[in-house]
């Protein structure tokens, strides 16, 4: 009787190990690169090309180029932004003396994306409205010189300038 219990216990234990081993994830590397709760399809992600990414960035913000230069009373070159989307890649540079930011590439884009999303710039806006929105989003209360060049998604270029001595 004792031998029968031992055999059943051993078989149950071995069966449990086999079932656990068969149910385990055999592709650990892919799982580690994915945030919890997200599902990926590796075949789908490989089919996205750079032109789709560039097109999404243009449509996301409404412009393909955004070059900003603001001088404040305290600092010349207080805010500098270069954002240019082209077919090959996206060039991004961001300097903001007030926020001690001096970044390029992906880290600059990470800081600029929420700002650009809130701007909602259109070429129909007045110069004053654009200047007020941009200075507000970049945390500039007073400036000496403001220069913004925007190339909208349709290819039209607009320049916004203002000089004050507050």
**Per-residue pLDDT tens over the stretch 2-37:** 666 666 666 565 566 555 555 655 554 444 444 444
Give yes or no for residue 118 having a pLDDT over 50. yes
- Residue 45's pLDDT band, with cuts at 50, 70 and 90, is very low
Specify if 137 maps to a domain. Answer: yes
- Expressed as residue numbers, the domain containing 154 is 62-163
Per-residue pLDDT band for 101 (boundaries 50, 70, 90) equals confident
**Domain contains 141:** yes
pTM: 0.63
Mean pLDDT of 92-105: 88
d(Cα 166, Cα 163) in Å, to the nearest integer?
10
Number of domains in the chain: 1
Percent of the chain with pLDDT over 90: 45
Q: Measured between alpha carbons, how far apart are the two ends of the chain, in Å?
A: 98
When pLDDT is cut at 50, 70 and 90, the band that residue 128 belongs to is very high
Q: Which of 108, 27, 9, 17 is nearest to 68 (CA)?
A: 108
User: Could you tell me if residue 35 is inside a domain?
Assistant: no
With respect to residue 108, please indicate whether it lies within any of the assigned structural domains. Answer: yes
């Amino acid at each position: 009787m004792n031998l029968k219990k031992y055999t059943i216990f051993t078989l149950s234990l071995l069966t449990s190990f086999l079932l656990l081993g068969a149910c385990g994830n055999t592709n650990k590397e892919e799982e580690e690169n994915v945030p919890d709760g997200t599902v990926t399809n590796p075949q789908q992600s490989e089919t996205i090309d750079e032109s789709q990414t560039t097109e999404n960035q243009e449509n996301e913000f409404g412009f393909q180029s955004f070059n900003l230069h603001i001088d404040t009373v305290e600092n010349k070159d207080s805010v500098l932004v270069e954002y240019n989307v082209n077919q090959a890649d996206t060039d991004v540079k961001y300097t903001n003396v007030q926020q001690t930011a001096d970044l390029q590439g992906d880290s600059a884009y990470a800081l600029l994306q929420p700002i650009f999303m809130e701007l909602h710039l259109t070429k129909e806006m007045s110069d004053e409205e654009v200047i007020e929105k941009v200075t507000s989003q970049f945390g500039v209360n007073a400036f000496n010189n403001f220069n913004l060049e925007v190339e909208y998604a349709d290819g039209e270029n607009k320049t916004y300038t203002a000089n004050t001595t507050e």
